Amino acid sequence: MRRPLRAPTPPGVTLERDEHGIPHVRAETLDGALWGMGYCHARDRGLQMSLMRILGQGRASELLAATDEMLEVDRFFRRMGWTGAMQQQLRILDAPTTALLQRYCEGVDARLLRRPPLELRLLRVRPEPWRIEHCMLLSRMMGYLTLAQSQAEVERLLVQLVQAGVDDERLRAL
């Protein structure tokens, strides 16, 4: 059984949630589908998206908590340089791609700006409009974090193999 999501959808876009809570976007156009996907992402992951954007920009001490610990977090993320060369990369995008990404951002804003996550409201953090560079930033962060997690898993496996007595020849083969 599906139930419609209450959302200010553009014409030709329908948002529903199935019995498992999974959102479904139905749209007559790719533009509409991307708007719906942005809206659903912001509805279900708005806090995560906002916090990742704040962290990736190195603005946690400015927007979340003005502590020495947050300042160190900001320094780390700024050293990563994920926001560098963003404008140059945006200029490389062709007009159709830019338009599609903008539709996704409009869907995010339709939810995030009108109904920010409760946690952000409690912190008195007002979400800023979602821009294409924020999509790029989160993509960079997720790539880094996934790689770091994978590396940790491989290192853990190697330690387990050494502890289990696997010989050097087999370890080198890995």
Q: 20-78, pLDDT tens digit by residue?
A: 999 999 999 999 999 999 999 999 999 999 999 999 999 999 999 999 999 999 999 99
**pLDDT classification of 173: cutoffs 50, 70, 90:** confident
At residue 166, the pLDDT reads: 78
At residue 104, the pLDDT reads: 98
3-state secondary structure string, the chain? Answer: CCEECCCCCCCCEEEEECCCCCEEEEECCHHHHHHHHHHHHHHHHHHHHHHHHHHHCCCHHHHCCCCHHHHHHHHHHHHHCCCCCHHHHHHHCCHHHHHHHHHHHHHHHHHHCCCCCHHHHHCCCCCCCCCHHHHHHHHHHHHHHHHHHHHHHHHHHHHHHHHCCCCHHHHHHC
In which residue are the tokens 């200010």 written?
8
Average pLDDT (86-110) is 94
Average pLDDT (90-95) is 93
Integer CA distances (angstroms), 155 to 86, 148, 159, 167, in order = 32, 11, 6, 16
Q: 119-165, pLDDT tens digit by residue?
A: 999 999 999 999 999 999 999 898 887 776 667 777 777 777 777 88
- pTM above threshold 0.75: yes
pLDDT over 90 (residue 174): no
Each domain of the chain, given as residue ranges in start order, spans 3-173
pLDDT over 90 (residue 108): yes
CATH of 3-173, one of 3.40.50.2000, 1.10.439.10, 3.40.50.970, 2.40.50.100: 1.10.439.10
At residue 100, the pLDDT reads: 96
